[in-house]
Amino acid sequence: MDIFESFNADNLKFPNCFIDIRLQKRINNVANVENGELDEVSSNDQAGVGVRALVNGAWGFSSTNNTEDVQRCINSAYRIAVATSRSSNRENFKVDPPVLKGHFENKVKIGPEDVPLEEKISYAYEIEKGAKINSLVKNTVSACSDSITEQLYINSVGSEIYQKTTRVYLKSVVASGNDSLQMGFEVMGGTRGYEVLKEKSLNELGREACEKSIRLLSAKKASGGEKTVVLDPKILGVFVHEALGHACEADIVLQGDSILEGKIGEKIGADGVNIYDDPTYLEKNGTYFFDDEGIKAEKTCLLENGILKSYLHNLETASRFKATPTGNGRAQGFSSRPLVRMSNVYMGGGDQSFEELIDIKEGLYVKGGRGGQVDTAKGLFTFGCEEAYEIKNGELGELYRDVSLSGNTLEILRNIEGIGKDFEIGNPGSCGKGQYVPVDDGGPHIRTRALVGGE
């Protein structure tokens, strides 16, 4: 049974109740090579239904992978909402989404269905070949994966939206060394097909990860302390996503876990600092047409000239804040409830060249991110960095490894003293918040001050 053709929207009519339903089909393909050996090959088809019901400010949720049992799932969500509303002490709220209809699909030139699984395996091996060009390489992981997700969203106010999204993701991870290992990591992909291979070869992807791990073996550790730092688009993207973006998620603000609570309209960053969340940015990993609550995707300005302009909202938080939904209600799959999530988050470009940004007496040029920790309530963060270069009298010098950046989110934003005129979004990955959703981030090079962790 095709769940998209068999469902009757009249089944969503219940008294004094908002109901929405996501009927979803997804195909995932993975080819993974580890240390020269084929580690995983899989092709996974999933189909299912997720239903929400809202009664007197209380949600009920039910899901099933039995696509012939949709009505039972709808009835279950409604009963849960009714029961919860009778026992919940939460403040009542209502949602009033616009009625939207449409058929949307990100067009790709070479879809996953056009590439045989055997060829995808060969792609992983080609990445692996580039990753093993040096005898000091000890461990490698080379991966090729793709997905096609079809979703029909229907709600009780009359919206009916079909969306098809294709993604491709390619990865190389390399560990090199003897007594101690250094890592190199490179990825590419997004809401695209395999035409992405025309921009960079698979061998080059693996080779870049390998070369990074090798050059870090001879790098020294930087001295610690507060320093002037120039951040590349990748580590800036990590900062904007982790330190600022999560603090802008309205559900986190409602929980009292955001340093940005009550700061809408306040200047929290330097002049010229503009930060956006934009699911409409074409071909990036966090790109979509509509969110999982039937709200049209739109570019949201979080900071404008350093002033906090907006939080990110789903239907519920928008109602509670008396704001407009921003199209950021996203779910990992049909069995998950939509939460407030980012999409493609980035800082806008400025007017300075790279040479102008590094025209300082001393500092560090920091490249790439390796994850870290963030306390959104206190506005504190620590991020690992892939590599860093000494800046001395406007010139790049010695390479450093095992560098970390830490500080206060608002101080970093206020201390920005230079914004590059370059721009890059190209850090595809997944963001975890109890669920995983695809995201991307980036921006220009910037100059600010931060606490550098080293020796």
Global pTM value: 0.96
At 362-414, the pLDDT tens digits run 999 999 998 889 999 999 999 999 999 999 999 999 999 999 999 999 999 99
CB distance 329 to 296 below 8 Å: no
Tokens of 315: 């239907």
CB distance 346 to 276 below 8 Å: yes
Q: Which residue has the tokens 């026992």?
A: 87
Cβ atoms within 10 Å, residue 89:
4
Q: Which residue has the tokens 């504190």?
A: 380
At 122-153, the pLDDT tens digits run 999 999 999 999 999 999 999 999 999 999 99
DSSP secondary structure, 233-296, as one string: HHHHHHHIIIIIIGGGBHHHHHTT--TTTT-TTSB-S-TT--EEE-TTSTTSTT--SB-TTSPB
- For residue 15, give every residue at least 6 positions away whose Cβ sits within 8 Å of its Cβ, in sequence order, or none: none
CB distance 273 to 415 below 8 Å: no
Going from N- to C-terminal start, the domains of the chain cover: 3-217, 220-453
Section 349-355 average pLDDT: 98
CB distance 156 to 19 below 8 Å: yes
What are the Cα distances from residue 20, in Å, to 70, 411, 442? 12, 42, 33
Q: Are strands 344-347 and 339-340 parallel, antiparallel or unpaired?
A: unpaired
pLDDT the model gives residue 19 = 97
pLDDT the model gives residue 106 = 95
pLDDT band at 174 (very low <50, low <70, confident <90, very high): very high
Query: How big is the chain by its Cα radius of gyration, in Å?
Result: 23
Domain 3-217 adopts which CATH fold?
PmbA/TldD fold (3.30.2290)
pLDDT the model gives residue 454 = 75
pLDDT band at 1 (very low <50, low <70, confident <90, very high): very low
CA-CA distance, 279 to 277, in Å (whole number)? 7
